[in-house]
Amino acid sequence: MSHYLKFCLGSSVVIGVVLAGTPALAQEQMTAPQQAEQNSGIGDIVVTARQRSESLQRVPDAISAFSQSTLVNANIKNVTDLSRLTPNLNFRDGRAFSANFFDIRMRGIGSAQGGWPSVSLIVDGVPTSSSDALTAGSLAGVERIEVLRGPQSALYGFNAIAGAINIVTKRPTNDFTGEARVYYGNGDDLQASAAVSGALIADKVLLRISGQYRDDDGRINSQTNGVHLDFHNRKSFESRLILVPTERFEADIRTTYDREHGGYSFQGRGSVAGNISDVINTKNPVFARREPGTQTRTFGRVAARLKYDADIVELSSVTSYDKGRQHGVGSACYDDVNAPSFPAPDGLGGTLCLANTRAFGNRAAAGQVIERFQAGSDDIDAFFQDVRIASKDSETIEWLVGGSGLWRRVDSVTRNFNEVAGTLNRPQVSFTHNRKYDKWWGVYGQISAHLGNFELTANGRYDRQKYKNTSYADFGYTNIIRVPDQTGVLQNSQHERAHSFQPKGQISYKIDETKMVYVTASRGFRAGYFNVGSFAIPEKTTNYEAGFKTSWFDRKLVANASVFHIDYSNQQLFATTNVAPFRIPVTVPKTRIKGAELETSVRIAEPITLSATLAYLDADVTNGTTSPRAPKWSGSFSGQVDQPLNDVWTLNARADMSWHSAQFLAVGNTQRVPKKQYLNARIGVEREGYGVYFVGQNLTNTQEPQIQASATTPYRIIYPVDPRSYGVELRVQF
């Protein structure tokens, strides 16, 4: 394994692996009580959820806000970590098959593979163009994360039917500063990041550049030959340049490049006869491969945000171009064909592979299949533009209007091929190639009126979309596979259109400076999508919500809660199959969801803060079954300690326990997973400019199937949780 640290450009754009910054380093001059308040998350956090700076406790929406210090102390480095501390946010990770094979659900509204995400990810005002970006990149350089629950279409556009994750990165500073982080853990996991920030021209030209590196052998090895299956290598850099030529105008330009190379298609195989959870809890499935699968992903983005202060209004524009490429190839046998743990049960030799084909490994005779492989690639190009006008400096009426558009092209290829004994050829077994074009534009507006202790807010968005899909029988875009339209006439391409108006109305009442109540009614919308010739129709939701936000005893106790009801039409799900493309759209006509959420923090002593979340969810399909991947109960409990040891050193310690009740992974109340608990911890000592910590994730080594298990009769394929990880972390700031 090569170990090196490359200092590159940036401040993070999308969610992933390493964090820069530490509480003691980022807030060097704070007193211990101030440090405890920041670390606990009870402080008066300022959020921009409504496109203006406001105290979290004064925004009439269900929002979980994570400050920089909380992100570091809780070791939040990807969507899985974030979901375990956010009420009714459920992330199911199928990375054992592919890094973009997952399901993110907020309040029971999830994501279908190949479709648009249910939760919009926005980084410094720029939305992601596909679901894949949710698991690409890193959290290095993040100042704050705001998780907004409930439809957010008017302000955050497409993909916000269930909510939005708003990421705010660190702004370049006038003073020259730098920071670095090094981590080494089990699995020979080396991580490093570094960043510098300063002014090229004071107050006029500010720049922050950063780089991240990771080289990880992984913690899942083949049980037959010891090869590393879940290895991971990443190199990324980001930059953020701010130009302020006049007092009225600012340009914020960001660039990102991220490249990762890691394991692909290393899911385990177990007996189909056992309960899905029993299979994984009894050291089954078996993880075994003749050779590891590999996947390479690259992501690049250039984005510019322009602001102009025109006295009574502010004009702004956001422009971005994304380019994503990913390609993976791995065994379709889900076993080591040289030493199969699951030989074919018919006594004819070899082991069964995908679609019940057979492979014989190195024992194959001439003409027999040695091994079968599957390969997939996705190329995504997207252009986004948003313009808006917003009021400013008004105590009575606040408003904004704007418009945005997205153009996206996606090329998806899936193929299977064999390695045959006695020949150098690798004959292709199946091939699918689809090119999709998506065009999306919308106009939106919001107005808020402050009438005494009441605030009335109304917003809405009108969207129009066009979709086009063309299927090819080759890589060269020459051999078109014609498909029938709705009338049965063969066409070269499939076309669909959709439009939707998504209103939202809200009334809040401020009881006093520390307490408020609110009610909300809104509509949600998610566009349909093509998946290898099949079209999933658009979704719609009608949402009702009520909640309160309170602070007590000079903010030593914070308690926020909400209840909601959702009428959900045409829920987009997916089912796994044994033939390409291995997933097909499934539509559930009617789903009714009701639930409640509670978040609370209490500082019980100067150095100690306790936090907890509790979520209830009742997601019923009209046939009386429970919606998949929607546990009825879930929650978390956290403890943070910031205790001065002497005049120089401070003890910084945090533990997070999260849990969920039983849930089903597939429609019809099938593939039941019982309740599970997870434990993460971080403990260390720090002083001005330095810190050293022990960091542990999933310390109980909890395992559960993540995604609906596909069956390759007579076997079952299981997607596992990342195993226990632990290591030592060093942070420095200057």
pLDDT for res 573: 74
Distance of CA 95 to the CA centre of its chain: 12
Q: Around Cβ 686, how many Cβ atoms within 10 Å? A: 22
pLDDT for res 486: 66
pLDDT for res 29: 35
pLDDT for res 35: 44
What is the chain's Cα-based Rg? 26
The Cα 277–Cα 80 span in angstroms is 20
Q: Give me the half-sphere count of Cα atoms (radius 13 Å) on the Cβ side of residue 706.
A: 23
Amino acid at 543: N
566 burial level (CB within 10 Å; 0-12, 13-18, 19+): buried
Amino acid at 482: R
The Cα 614–Cα 635 span in angstroms is 4
The Cα 46–Cα 49 span in angstroms is 9
Q: Going along 538-688, which residue ranges are E strands?
A: 539-552, 557-576, 583-605, 608-621, 633-644, 650-660, 663-666, 670-673, 676-687
The Cα 360–Cα 16 span in angstroms is 38
pLDDT for res 505: 95
Residues 617 and 604 sit within 8 Å (Cβ to Cβ): no
Both tokens assigned to 291: 């050779």
608 burial level (CB within 10 Å; 0-12, 13-18, 19+): middle
The Cα 152–Cα 89 span in angstroms is 15
Q: Is the CATH code 3.10.20.600 the one for domain 23-733?
A: no
The Cα 407–Cα 412 span in angstroms is 17
pLDDT for res 575: 64
3-state secondary structure of 435: strand
The Cα 328–Cα 414 span in angstroms is 10
271 burial level (CB within 10 Å; 0-12, 13-18, 19+): middle
What residue ranges do the domains of the chain occupy? 23-733
Regions of the chain with pLDDT less than 50: 1-41
Q: Around Cβ 163, how many Cβ atoms within 10 Å? A: 28
Residues 638 and 654 sit within 8 Å (Cβ to Cβ): yes
Name 447's Cβ contacts closer than 8 Å, sequence gap at least 6: 397, 398, 399, 457, 458, 459
Q: What is the 3-state secondary structure (H, E, C) of 628-648?
A: CCCCCEEEEEEEEEEEECCCC
Residues 144 and 171 sit within 8 Å (Cβ to Cβ): no
Strands 351-352 and 663-666 come out as unpaired
> What pLDDT digit, counting tens, does each position of 371-394 carry?
999 999 999 999 999 999 999 877
3-state secondary structure of 535: strand
pLDDT for res 51: 78
The Cα 688–Cα 672 span in angstroms is 49
Q: The whole model's pTM is what?
A: 0.89
Both tokens assigned to 599: 């978040």
264 burial level (CB within 10 Å; 0-12, 13-18, 19+): buried
Number of continuous H segments (helices) and E segments (strands) in the chain: 6, 43
Distances (CA, A) of 447 to 50, 125, 156, 394, 623: 11, 19, 15, 12, 40
pLDDT for res 10: 33
The Cα 420–Cα 362 span in angstroms is 10
